[in-house]
Structure 1
Amino acid sequence: MLNNSLLHPEEARKMIRKNQWNRPTAGMCNGYTQANLVILPKDLAFEFLLFCQRNPKSCPVLDVTEPGSPVPALAAPSADLRSDLPSYRVYRNGILTDEVQDIHPYWTDDMTGFLIGCSFSFEQALMQNKIPVRHIQENRNVPMYKTSISCTKAGRFEGPMVVSMRPIPEKDVVRAVQVTSRFPSVHGAPVHIGDPSSIGIESIDAPDFGDSVTINEGEVPVFWACGVTPQAVVMNIKPELVITHSPGHMFITNWTDEEFGVL
């Protein structure tokens, strides 16, 4: 049986392009950086880049394509953002209208793609420190929640921060903060630890995106800023057309996680 955690990104993207992998990418290509995706028309690109610059915790930009080009020249110059993610979401006027495995039919010559850091990239470091990653253990998608934390507005872009959650044993919380702080380009340290209601999450068992996971006795919910934030913003501001990854279904870059780690 193929061990997907040991795949090289080129091999993984080839599988995805052939529709041989249509599940979340957590645990795939361990050691390589994964990225969220936002594709929007050129006339929105500067405002979105400014939004990312003002909200680096939620939207750390890793690469931006040339207008009209589907190739992330820095992250993976042989890749095609129209086919190399397992699943995409198409939003029209803020409404999710399609969820597809290929976006060639939606692509136009004025589109710009943004790759945004993903917290899947620091999960290998957590596991190397013997800190459990529950959604990988349970073969589920990471739970993600809209919060009451407002992003800093930029042009037309405004809305709530989305966070991902991982239950961490109490004894490991400090170490989890230390480990993830080394990776500011993929969300870095948590934004909240403990009571979900303090950041506007009404039910920890009902995530807005992804799947619920088991929280065992003696574990604390820990929340990291999440690259699904742009999807919440898109639903809030309702642009004519925006394409994103489906939550948990990431783009796998050629970069290693350690290239983004800091000592």
Structure 2
Amino acid sequence: MNDKKETPHIKPNGVEIAETILLPGDPLRAKFIAETYLENAQQFNSVRNMFGYTGTYKGKKISVMGTGMGMPSMSLYSWELIHIFGVKNLIRIGTCGAIQDHMNLYDLVLAMGASTDSRYVHQYNLPGEFANIASFELLDKAKKAADQKGLPVHVGNILTSDIFYNADPTALEKWQKMGILSVEMETAGLYLNAAYAGVNALTILTVSDHILRREQTTPEERQTAFTNMMEVALELA
């Protein structure tokens, strides 16, 4: 599928990139997934230490690659994976900060929609507001996989924000009132790229902290929760 295609940011050196790819923000998490879950994993990218691997999971070919933090980084990598390397199913796996009272640390969040304070959508010159939504096919599969594992899971709208340190201390309370489940920094860019290209995208998140309750997980505690998220995502291959 990839022949000898490459970009300034992804140089596969002949290693195939699968049509389904998992996209953690942290490239070391991509390495962990490849080493822990994939059979016959081959590294297809190391440019800027943004590690990418392709292998098989339960007999199905799947890739995994880091994306870095924020919409610009996610949007760059996902655009190239879609348009240059032919990826059809893009599944972000990452962490988020919960802002609803009924949510707890380690819960899973399936991003049915991704509201945003970003202006990334302006490039499409749309005559209105666009709703960033997930692929229902991937969303449905992920919900069923999470339910089968008995995992606490929330499905709904999240916020993709360009701002980590916000000068407006009331911003999150306003989003909370609109039913936003949690906050992260990548999904809206992924969903916009996927919608424009006509491919599938889904974000699966683990609650690593509850922002309004000021609760946080430790790195050790996160590992088990992240493993649950990874295993749900792998079932979508």
Q: Structure 2-normalised TM-score?
A: 0.31
Q: Structure 1-normalised TM-score?
A: 0.29
Which protein, 1 or 2, shows the higher relative CO under an 8 Å CA cutoff with sep ≥ 6?
Answer: 1
Q: Which has the higher helix share?
A: 2
